[in-house]
Structure 1
Amino acid sequence: MKTLQIKTAQNVNIKFTVATVFQRLFAFVIDYLVKFAYLYFANRLFGFSMLDSSLNGDGWTIKAVEVLFLVPITFYSLYSEILMDGQTIGKRLLHLKVINVDGFKPSITDYIMRWFLRIVDFNLFLLLFVYVASLGLNDQYTLLVVLFLFGKLVGFFLILCTNKNQRFGDIIANTIVIYLKDTVKFSETILEDIKENYIPTYANVIKLSDNDMRIIKETYKTAAKQNDYKTLIKLRSKILEVTDIKSIHKSDLEFIDTVLKDYNYYTQSM
């Protein structure tokens, strides 16, 4: 699997595992099954034959109802990713997530851009079909079959061939899809090996988040290994500022190590 290394504002390098083309394909298939399930059950529940008779053949009204019927499918990936923090049902089941290439949460504009450009990644055939049909060529059938396959596979080949496994919509929106279920070493997580009789010192560490602790731990380990005392001082000052902790440790190393252990104590016991 490909990995992407991102440097945070704290000069910490964080590695993400980029989702493979097959993981994204399986998520895509699951999402299509969700859409088909919606079509099937919604049509069984609100059959168009019933609508046709109840509306006395009012064509415009029937068309309007059909359009409304298809809105949840049309905008499925857009509202799913916005409401589910970069995931659809398929992505969530396969532990995939859309993020900005800088490691941040994409903006709504980013989500809209990558959704809109699905027309290039997966539905380019529709545009090409209109163009070919307007030419009035004699042997259109073979050409249309080729265009259909090409139009549906643009996104697939882009994900397969680009450095960050991005389709066209990802490239323009500056997003990537990552795999969340990484297999990492214990030392690479925010977990700390604490004893059963451990007594915590700083209760205010619960003001910090898991992401804060991951950044703190990675910065702490890097700075300690390189004897970068300036970074340790800055890190300690930032922790004190955010948590309002009154430190009883004179050593920066001891203080940060205690903060890491205390956070694990409080979060694991909740």
Structure 2
Amino acid sequence: MAAIKIPTAFNIDLEFEASDIGQRFVAWLIDLAIRAAYVCLIWIVVANIQWSGQSGAVFAFWTILIPVSLYFLLFEIVMKGQSPGKKALGIKVVSLLGNPPSFSQHMIRWVFRLLETPFLIWGIIPIIAIARSKYNQRLGDLVAGTIVVNTKTKSSLNDTIFRDISQADYQPRFPQILRLSDKDLNKVKELMDRALQSGNQELAAKVAYRVRDVLKIETDMEHMQFLETLLNDYNYYVTKE
């Protein structure tokens, strides 16, 4: 599988393994088998019930159409970028920042999937797109700004200063954080991780006091909560503005 290096807003390149066409096809076959089994189950239920007029056909139509059409959209939202097939193959959809896709990104991928699949000949379109795109993306991925990667990534945003500030009402506390550089914050994150792993509260306190002194911040927050809030605020300012 091809290695993908994605530049982030924090001057850090994240390295992923892009899922290849073979993986995605097998995952799609698994998802197809699940949908086919569901359709067969509905037809068995319909065949074993006495219906009046066309009510059985109407029931079958809607109970098949809606779940089958929404299959990928619902599963990938609930399972954070994975369908059952993708999970079985160890691949998932992520945004170009490496974090789970937003709702709008899921919607864009789903709409383009519907556009790509009505006619058999259109099946060649995602194959060509995946083969020719830099990050092995189909059209829906290109428009939505997503990629499909191996879940066993070589690096993760969890290892960086990235924090997912997706709530619309997030209110930053410390605008002074913008006075620090990415390098400074990555050092803070490194020391935070070391303090958490070792249970060294003294180290966390030293880092917190040092940052407060440099940024001239007065707060009664607990040390780790203060440092985590700083990272959240920095992500808010960098990604929202």
TM-score bracket for this pair, using the shorter chain length: 0.5 to 0.7
Cα shift at 1:158: 1.4
In structure 2, do the counterparts of structure 1 residues 233 and 109 end up closer, same or farther at CA, with 3 Å as the change threshold?
A: closer
Counterpart for residue 21 of structure 2: 21
Please give the alpha-carbon distance, in whole angstroms, between the structure 1 residues aligned to 2:115 and 2:59. Answer: 27
In structure 2, do the counterparts of structure 1 residues 42 and 23 end up closer, same or farther at CA, with 3 Å as the change threshold?
A: same
Partner letter of residue 94 of structure 1?
Answer: L
Please give the alpha-carbon distance, in whole angstroms, between the structure 1 residues aligned to 2:47 and 2:182. Answer: 70
Within 5 Å, give how 1:116-265 maps onto structure 2.
116-123=111-118, 125=119, 148=120, 150-182=121-153, 211-212=157-158, 214-215=159-160, 233-237=184-188, 245-247=204-206
Q: Does 1:76 align with 2:71?
A: yes
TM-score when scaled to structure 2? Answer: 0.65
Q: Does 1:62 align with 2:56?
A: yes
Counterpart for residue 36 of structure 1: 36
Counterpart for residue 104 of structure 2: 109
Please give the alpha-carbon distance, in whole angstroms, between the structure 2 residues aligned to 1:111 and 1:232. Answer: 33
Partner letter of residue 140 of structure 2?
Answer: G
Counterpart for residue 4 of structure 2: 4
Cα shift at 1:232: 5.9
Structure 1 residue ranges without an equivalent (≥5): 126-147, 190-209, 217-229, 249-270
Structure 2 residue ranges without an equivalent (≥5): 162-180, 208-241
RMSD: 3.2
Q: Which one has a bigger Cα radius of gyration?
A: 1
Counterpart for residue 49 of structure 1: 47
Counterpart for residue 83 of structure 2: 88
Please give the alpha-carbon distance, in whole angstroms, between the structure 2 residues aligned to 1:235 and 1:118. Answer: 38
Cα shift at 1:236: 4.4
TM-score when scaled to structure 1? Answer: 0.58
- Identity rate, percent: 26
